[in-house]
Amino acid sequence: MHKFLNSADTFLTDSLAGLAAAHPELIVDQEQRIITRSAPPRPGKVGLVSGGGSGHEPLHGGFVGFGMLDAACPGEIFTSPVPDQILAATSAVHTGAGVVHVVKNYTGDVLNFQLAAELADEAGIAVETVLVNDDVAVEDSTWTAGRRGTGATVLVEKMAGALAEREADAAQVAGLGRRVNAASRSFAVALTACTTPEAGKPGFDLPEGQMEVGVGIHGEPGRRREPTGSAREIVALSLDAILGDLEGAAGLSRGDQTIVLVNGLGGTPLGELYLVYGEVAAVLRGRGLSIARNLVGNYVTSLDMAGVCITVCRADGELIELWDAPVNTPALRWGV
Return residues touching its own copies (CB under 8 A). 1-7, 11-12, 14-22, 54-55, 57-58, 62, 191-192, 208-209, 228, 230-232, 234, 266-279, 281-282, 294, 296, 298, 301, 303-304, 306, 308, 333-336
Backbone angles phi, psi at 174, to 5 degrees: -65, -40
For residue 94, indicate whether it is catalytic.
no
Least spacing, CB of residue 267 vs its own copies, in Å: 5
Query: Cβ closer to its own copies: 77 or 246?
Result: 77
For residue 223, CA distances in Å to 57, 79, 84, 187, 216 come to 25, 23, 35, 10, 10
Least spacing, CB of residue 277 vs its own copies, in Å: 4
8 A C-beta contact, residue 236 and residue 189: no
Query: What is the C-alpha to C-alpha distance for residues 168 and 161, in angstroms, rounded to an integer?
Result: 11
Picking from 136, 240, 177, the residue whose alpha carbon sits closest to that of residue 48 is 177
Query: Cβ closer to its own copies: 182 or 320?
Result: 320
Least spacing, CB of residue 254 vs its own copies, in Å: 19
Kindly state the helix (H) or strand (E) to which residue 190 belongs, with its residue range.
Answer: strand 184-190
Least spacing, CB of residue 41 vs its own copies, in Å: 23
Query: Cβ closer to its own copies: 168 or 305?
Result: 305
Backbone angles phi, psi at 86, to 5 degrees: -65, -40
Least spacing, CB of residue 13 vs its own copies, in Å: 9
For residue 60, indicate whether it is catalytic.
no
Query: Cβ closer to its own copies: 17 or 123?
Result: 17
8 A C-beta contact, residue 48 and residue 103: no
8 A C-beta contact, residue 81 and residue 75: yes
Catalytic residue among 60, 94, 101, 218: 218
Catalytic residue among 23, 56, 60, 101: 56
Bond prior to 197 in cis (omega within 30° of 0) = no
Query: Cβ closer to its own copies: 128 or 304?
Result: 304
Q: What is the DSSP string of 208-252?
A: TTEEEET--TTS---SEEEE---HHHHHHHHHHHHHHHHHHHS--
Q: Which residues pair with 26 in a beta bridge?
A: 37
**Cα four-point dihedral sign 108, 110, 113, 114:** negative
Least spacing, CB of residue 69 vs its own copies, in Å: 16
Query: Cβ closer to its own copies: 15 or 105?
Result: 15
Residues recognised as catalytic: 56, 218
